[in-house]
Amino acid sequence: MMDAVIGLEDGTFLKGTGFGAEGIVCGELVFTTQYTGYEESLTDPSYSGQILMFTYPLIGNYGVNDETFQSDGVKVEGLVVREACRSPSHHQSMRNIYKLMEDEGKPGISGVDTRMLTIGTREHGTMRAALINGSDDGEEAVRLARAQPDISSLDLISRVTCKEPYIIKSQVNTDDKKNVVLIDLGMKKNISTSLLNRGIDVTVVPATTPASVIQEFDPDLLFLSNGPGDPQNANAAIDAVKEMAGTVPIAGICLGHQIIARALGADTYKLKFGHRGANQPVKDLETGIVHITSQNHGFAVEGDSFDDTDVIVTQINTNDRTVEGIEQKDLDIFSVQYHPEAHAGPRDTEKIFFGKVMKAMGGRV
């Protein structure tokens, strides 16, 4: 066991027991309320630049199965838990969470009051933090937390986007094969999986790819993925949507939703502490149905700020009325803030959203 400490910019620090890799990491401290799906969350590129804390007190009890990863490895900067399970019980488990964090070179801290940290975050908003494994110097942790830049000033997308375009061919045989060009802003694996399972070939391109290059791939639909950071920093993707709007259908999830909204003239803003968890209620304004969704985002769309007056808000979060879905029917553009493809998590909206993607391309729903 090793000493560990986490310090926040407001001067708070908590000492605990370190696990995983020894060292120092900095980032925003954010919390998620889910109690399953920790493998998916730890490997979600949207968490780049953030130290992830689980509100559920025991994490790692069913171990780690690499098949559930949403990227090529752990993307969070560090992990904060009340208790980490050393002896998981599941027939598909390959290793425990201690070994995962060690193998990935990422630090974790356990034995801290995550409830107190969560309440503090809800009251004061998301704060910059520093996690030190191998020391219990709380004052140094606070100093490091205060010294780091605000997350909005960081180019986090460049850390997680692919470097070159690549194509994933669907193994599903269809009479009319479709091709989606997916802008990788920090894509979760399940987005491409949901497309591939429907017989769609996926061409993945870097976040800075201009519209002229995207058009060379002759897409049936342009898709913008999830990703980390402030959407106003994704200038290339915003420009691509502006240039291609009206030429092909366009869809997006999470950060992709925010980028589409900005391309249509809307403002985005940072939430006090964001939405992260697997039980966010989203109301469809057309049907009146409330879906339970998985979410992971710190920014939101200002619903009444669109330059394009034909944009409609299709879904809202019933907790705080934030925008969860938009649509511009004349341009065949639609997007959602939540994750319909999320696993483990509610699957209520996967068929609905990707059925809409298929319909937009003229394929089977």
Catalytic sites, residue numbers: 254, 339, 341
Known binding residues for L-glutamine are 46, 227, 229, 255, 258, 296, 298-299
Beta-carbon-side half-sphere exposure of residue 227 (alpha carbons within 13 Å)? 33
SS3 of residue 360 by DSSP: helix
Q: Please state the residue numbers annotated as binding site.
A: 46, 227, 229, 255, 258, 296, 298-299
CB count within 10 Å of CB 57 equals 11
- The dihedrals phi and psi of 193, each to the nearest 5 degrees, come to -60, -45
Contacts of 329 (CB under 8 A, 6+ apart): 310, 312
Residue 82 token pair: 């009340």
First-to-last alpha carbon distance for the chain, in angstroms, is 53
Tell me the three state secondary structure of residue 183: strand
Kindly state the DSSP code that residue 231 receives in the 8-state scheme: G
C-alpha Rg value of the chain to the nearest Å: 20
Q: For residues 293 and 349, is the Cβ–Cβ distance under 8 A?
A: yes
Among 96, 128, 99, 98, which Cα is nearest to 17's? 98
Distance, CA of 326 to CA of 22 (rounded, Å): 44
